[in-house]
Every structure is written in structure tokens, then in C-alpha cells.
Amino acid sequence: MPTEPLSDVPPASAEVIEIERALTRITYLATRARRHERLTALAGVPLDRAAVALLRQIADSEPLRPGELAQRLGVEASHVTRTVQQLQRSGYVTRVPDPDDRRAQRIELTDVGREAVARVREAGARGMQLALSGWQPEELRQLAGLFHRMVDDFLACAVDDESGQEADARAATA
């Protein structure tokens, strides 16, 4: 989100306030430790939340450098390095040469890692299917489309914010 002073941003509408409240609730529910433990137990994937998040991120992209993974997840590079080491020892990921710079390495899922992500996603989707079983298919399509649009807008806002922060940093050192 932009770091501009809040006085420069118009007040939030009632609809935006309700969306923020709902997102806060769903984020809390989705990140509870008990939910994660249940999900990974159902999937048969004995990994902590950080490791599962990293596996999902790798699965959603081409092999990435650890620094790129850290940036996408919004965590410190050292955190990703430790998690990658854990996942590599467990056979979920492997390091491959970066085709753009042979000195660097990218992180790639192994077959075991791809299977683990698939099982976690399947367990999560089944739980969501149960929770949303009373919804009509058109409602689900609309919700999915709106969620994707919101995520895209959040990402665009985050990119704008990062560009602004870099410009601010350059200006401060000039």
C-alpha cells in the first residue's frame, strides 16, 4: 500500500471499510496455525507455513533466485535461504543454474515438491468447496473474478509504492 500521508488520501467509503474488515477476518482465519496443521495433515505434507508458502510461490512461477522469492513473499532473504535449505534436504526443491548468470542459482520444485503442492492445493480446495457449497456457480465465478482483479490492483499499487520508495531513496542520497 502507498506510504503517502493518510491526509492526502480521501476517506474510505463504507464499502471499502467493509472489504477491509472482511479481508482482515479471512486473513486471520486462513493463517491460523490450527488450520495450517489440519491442511497439511490432510495433504500428508509435514511442513510449516513458511515452507508451504515458499513451495506455492515456486509452483506459481518459473524457477527463481532466492532473493526474488524473498521479494515476492515480502520476507528477508535469510528467511528464504533457511527455508530453501530445509526444503532441499527434504527433497521438495533443488537448485539449478541461472541461465542468465551461471554463478547464480534458481530454486525449482522437484517431482516430490510438485506433488506436495498439488496435495496441499487439493486439500485447501476441498475445504473451500465445503465452505462455499451453498453458493451458485455464477456467484463463485464473480467472486473469483473480483478477487483476481483486487489482487492485481494490490500488486499494481505495491509496484507503484516500491518505485516511489526507490525514487525517495535516490532523492535522499542526491
Query: Cα separation of 71 and 154, whole Å?
Result: 15
Is residue 29 very low, low, confident or very high in pLDDT (cuts 50, 70, 90)? confident
How is residue 71 written as a grid cell? 521479494
pLDDT in tens, 42-56: 899 999 999 999 999
Q: Which long-range contacts (CB under 8 A, 24 or more apart) does 73-80 make?
A: 75/50, 79/50, 80/54
For residue 114, pLDDT over 60 is answered with yes
pTM given for the model: 0.73
Q: Give which of 127, 139, 143, 122 is closest to 22, Cα–Cα.
A: 143
Using a pLDDT cut of 70, give the percent of the chain over it. Answer: 87
Q: In the predicted model, what is the mean pLDDT of the chain?
A: 87
Letter string b/e over residues 111-131, b meaning 16 or more CB atoms within 10 A of that residue's CB: eebeebbebbeebbeeeeeee
